[in-house]
Structure 1
């Protein structure tokens, strides 16, 4: 650089006002943030495109699928299962629990009757279906929290699939011969990375109900957590001791559908996952207090959106995601806060874990994976 040009550069630097300097710094930070987000979305879309074509075997079989009959929030799971099945087998018939299921089964003679949840189907109908030589299976939705209610039903199925690995010995003790651990998954039509920049902007999100264990866990760090542009959505959050101080950032008493939830995940740099307690008698029906070890469905849905997830540590979690590589965990409120602050200031590490989580989810944790596993067990 010539002496004249160097002097001109010094002069320009000297005459910049503080406001102009701030504007230039802001523009530079905006460019950097835009680059980082574009890089994340570009790689995420590439990962999704690699798994666009199904790699599961197509089976010539007919499944009679009995929906949960519970409406939202179970209806999106019904949609995920029925739609995924249609791409994997030759015929799917969908019915509701209130219909004469045993008569329908007798008329169409499916290879399998698959029931989601099973709370609203009469056991006599299941017995009649099995007497016709048709295989039956149930995919339980809320283990271990409602085991008092599932106890009466599980013995009427040939195959029991549960979200909770700790429920396997319990159902075996009840006489169920074929019990398998099969958690839910990510339905990639609902949960996937957005191609465009989200209109929402969040640093940290939590979406879910304010069960008492969550209120007690988060209360000691809530003041600090909410300083990081944290937004919470879900019912009962007015239980927080200092709710009035945060109510402008908490949307209370609203169930968010899959599309709205996925938009929030995509808009967030970090999403917190904090599992409910298996000992909360105010909402649970788990008299035998079966402990929960397996990850909830939200675990897979967050990861499918290429967003960094901070989850409380459950013993089964490492079977599905590698901590520190595909997910981050915490074991105390302070560790949760420390990791929020760390990853908000370490963009590259945050981004790589989020992309690794997406890759693992697309490879191993879609409904195609789960249903292929189920059908392989029933029809080996």
Structure 2
């Protein structure tokens, strides 16, 4: 009899545990579905249609290949719906001859590193407006000084480069960071892979290794995965290699898939004073957010971003994005938001809404064309 009672108690306990587990699972599924449904609602509600301008734009891609080619694609595809005629070329072709043949209203160049400056001089001599959108300020300013003076308009994604270029003699310099391209970066209805907890996507630059080295053990106690080149240079890499995917540049689809299948994405900007990889002898500081800032937020994922002086112009810290100024603060916020799911999701949704309302390539290009053709 006692054995029968014990068996019944065990069965009853197992059934009770099953019911509790089922209830918790159903609630978690409901909350995740509600979150993703709300994210889709924001995307649908805030789809931005910029005005169509009666302009012919000749767009010159960077010619630098991957990882710049997705930016080329984002700008070209966005312009396609904004101007009456778009002609596309790249920096390896004879741009002056193409401009002479097509006579556009504007020649817009991305980056300009591989475009001979004399070609822009020839285009300007035809009375055609020219503009360049810089991709890597302030990290390669030793090089960019060689071509920015050959354009009517210079657009830079780094606020500290505005005065730098103006003091060089550039007549029209404007601050214009990149943004998110919603075709590449947007929330998905259903994640395609098991959700990770913490992720970082980016190259293992020396100062990034220096930042992560003291805390990597503690960070890896969570379900953390790092994607990017050169992480095999990280000291003790072999003990983390199953959590570090190296040796490839991830395209937008792969990167967006990572963002959509993760709870928290860490954004650690490239250091402007990293002399091993930069060409910035003037030591121009970096205050502006990188393109990844907007792309992460466009996927409705909580972003932990290192503090940058001009970040609050785009997202309100603690409301639409979270920031950290030290390794310990990063770990504290990781632990907090892994426990406080509701707070994490609210910030992610606010970030998504701000991004689709203000920070897409359509918003940026509309601003650019408004400056050039007021």
| TM-score normalised by length of structure 1 | 0.94
> Given the alignment of the two structures, is residue 99 of structure 1 paired with residue 93 of structure 2, yes or no?
yes
Structure 1: runs of 5 or more not aligned: 1-10
Displacement of 1:230: 0.5
The corresponding residue for 2:34 is 39
Query: Residue 137 and residue 13 in structure 1: after superposition, are their counterparts in 2 closer, same or farther (change >3 A)?
Result: farther
- 1:129-278 map, 5 Å: 129-278=123-272
- Counterparts of 1:21 and 1:272 in 2: how far apart (Å)? 39
The corresponding residue for 2:366 is 372
Displacement of 1:214: 1.1
> Given the alignment of the two structures, is residue 122 of structure 1 paired with residue 155 of structure 2, yes or no?
no
Query: Residue 217 and residue 106 in structure 1: after superposition, are their counterparts in 2 closer, same or farther (change >3 A)?
Result: same
The corresponding residue for 1:27 is 22
Query: Residue 28 and residue 12 in structure 1: after superposition, are their counterparts in 2 closer, same or farther (change >3 A)?
Result: farther
Q: Is the 8 A contact 1:200 1:264 kept in 2?
A: no
> Given the alignment of the two structures, is residue 61 of structure 1 paired with residue 70 of structure 2, yes or no?
no
- Counterparts of 2:357 and 2:335 in 1: how far apart (Å)? 30
The corresponding residue for 2:333 is 339
Displacement of 1:137: 0.2
- Counterparts of 1:351 and 1:43 in 2: how far apart (Å)? 10
Structure 2: runs of 5 or more not aligned: 1-5
Q: Is the 8 A contact 2:48 2:362 kept in 1?
A: no
The corresponding residue for 1:320 is 314
> What CA deviation, in whole Å up to 9, does each residue of 1:183-237 have, x standing for no partner?
1100000000001233232111100001111111111111111111000000111
User: Following superposition, which runs of at least 4 residues in structure 1 exceed 6 angstroms of deviation?
Assistant: none
Paired residues in the alignment total 369
Query: Residue 84 and residue 28 in structure 1: after superposition, are their counterparts in 2 closer, same or farther (change >3 A)?
Result: same
- Counterparts of 1:196 and 1:108 in 2: how far apart (Å)? 46
> Given the alignment of the two structures, is residue 297 of structure 1 paired with residue 298 of structure 2, yes or no?
no
Q: Is the 8 A contact 2:47 2:356 kept in 1?
A: no
Displacement of 1:173: 1.1
RMSD over equivalenced CA pairs, Å:
1.6
Query: Residue 78 and residue 16 in structure 1: after superposition, are their counterparts in 2 closer, same or farther (change >3 A)?
Result: same
> What CA deviation, in whole Å up to 9, does each residue of 1:209-266 have, x standing for no partner?
0111111111111111111100000011122222222111110111100000000000
The corresponding residue for 2:3 is none
Displacement of 1:20: 5.5
| TM-score normalised by length of structure 2 | 0.96
- Counterparts of 1:261 and 1:32 in 2: how far apart (Å)? 29
